[in-house]
Amino acid sequence: MYDLIIIGGGPAGLTAGIYAQRARLKTLLLEKEVIGGQIAVSDVIENYPGFPSISGAELMEKFEQQARGLGLEIKLTDVIAVQKKGEEKIVKTSDGDLIAKSVIVATGAKPRRLDIPGEKELTGKGVSYCATCDGPFFKGQKVIVVGGGDTAVKEAVYLSKIANKVYIAHRRDQLRAEKIIQEKAMSTPNIEILWSHILKEIRGKTGVEKVVLQNLKDNTVKELDVEGVFVFVGINPTTDFVDVEKDKQGFIKTDQDMRTSEKGIFAAGDCRTTSLKQVSTAVGDGAIAAFVAEKYIEEMA
């Protein structure tokens, strides 16, 4: 039996693992895909204290090295469900059941889709949800970024260094991104912002050829020739496998100590209801969750 099982290997999960190892808890971290989480594919991070500019991959590699250096056990597997058996927690995985005294859910969230004609068919053929992953394929071409938040505008600036032309389609008449990121985008010559526009359709045979846009102010529709579509319109939490109280979007509700509605189950990072989803906040969540989990385990003895 483990003292603690951490589900998710992003910033929150790895931080929780570091704190748990330092507390000498018998800990296992489970990750379904890539250690480091989604931030690992971010091109540049400029707002993590101590690192004025660093790639997501580099930063997460440092997290992982520190966690493993302390002896954290990490296993790649898919978590199917978390169940209770008395005070014990049964974590059901694709490789069998695991038992722990406590669980920290740090599974983050995944990109939201537009659910428009052509999106599914052309995903991987010009439609992308990761500029760092797929941006280099569009050197000298025209692309469109959908969204107006930090991620969308930041990735548009990144793409402007690769693509010949970058459009930003945003449904509102002002961006939601940090002001400093907005300033970068607006001062970049090959970025054009299409205010109050939404994508209605993505067209192409073997790859993206054009998009259909609707102007929400006058309801006019127009076509725009592009070779790439990058979608950044929000995220959906990865929380289906655990039965705790959640908000209407599926994010896990916690108190200030990362406790969920079930004793012994904690949540940290982007999978929980929080006003800011950043590496720095995920790190804080992970540290608190591990600390409070340690106290919970001590009280069980």
The predicted-structure confidence for 166-206, as pLDDT tens digits, reads as follows 999 999 999 999 999 999 999 999 999 999 999 999 999 99
Residue 226: partners with Cβ closer than 8 Å, 6 or more residues away:
141, 142, 143, 144, 167, 208, 210, 211
The answer to whether 33 and 26 have CB atoms below 8 angstroms apart is no
Place of tokens 């537009």: 114
What are the pLDDT digits (tens) for 44-83? 888 899 999 999 999 999 999 999 999 999 999 999 999 9
Q: What is the pLDDT of residue 102?
A: 98
Q: Please indicate, yes or no, whether residues 225 and 246 belong to a single structural domain of this protein.
A: no
Q: What CATH number is attached to the domain comprising 25?
A: 3.50.50.60
Q: What is the pLDDT of residue 44?
A: 81
Q: Please indicate, yes or no, whether residues 124 and 223 belong to a single structural domain of this protein.
A: yes
The answer to whether 45 and 39 have CB atoms below 8 angstroms apart is yes
- What Cα–Cα distance (Å) separates residue 71 from each residue in 36, 65, 67, 191? 17, 10, 7, 46
Domain of residue 100, residue span: 2-110+235-300
Q: Please indicate, yes or no, whether residues 142 and 203 belong to a single structural domain of this protein.
A: yes
Q: What is the pLDDT of residue 286?
A: 98
CA atoms within 13 A on the CB side of 264: 22
Band the pLDDT of 147: cuts 50, 70, 90: very high
How many domains is the chain partitioned into structurally?
2
Determine the 3-state secondary structure of 99 from DSSP: strand
Boundary residue ending a domain (231, 261, 281): 231
Query: Is residue 261 pLDDT above 90, yes or no?
Result: yes
Q: What is the pLDDT of residue 71?
A: 98
Q: Please indicate, yes or no, whether residues 148 and 191 belong to a single structural domain of this protein.
A: yes
Q: Please indicate, yes or no, whether residues 128 and 181 belong to a single structural domain of this protein.
A: yes
DSSP assignment of 244-279, as one string? S-B-TTSPBP--TT-B-SSTTEEE-GGGB--S---H
Q: Please indicate, yes or no, whether residues 53 and 104 belong to a single structural domain of this protein.
A: yes
Q: Please indicate, yes or no, whether residues 50 and 98 belong to a single structural domain of this protein.
A: yes
Q: Please indicate, yes or no, whether residues 225 and 274 belong to a single structural domain of this protein.
A: no
H/E element, 119:
helix 119-122
In single-letter form, the type of residue at position 294 comes to E
What are the pLDDT digits (tens) for 281-293? 999 999 999 999 9
The CA-CA-CA angle for residues 224, 211, 124, to 5°, reads 130
What are the pLDDT digits (tens) for 23-49? 999 999 999 999 999 888 777 888 899
Q: Please indicate, yes or no, whether residues 64 and 166 belong to a single structural domain of this protein.
A: no
Band the pLDDT of 216: cuts 50, 70, 90: very high
Band the pLDDT of 112: cuts 50, 70, 90: very high
Active site (catalytic) residues? 130, 133-134
Boundary residue ending a domain (175, 196, 231): 231
Q: Please indicate, yes or no, whether residues 125 and 222 belong to a single structural domain of this protein.
A: yes
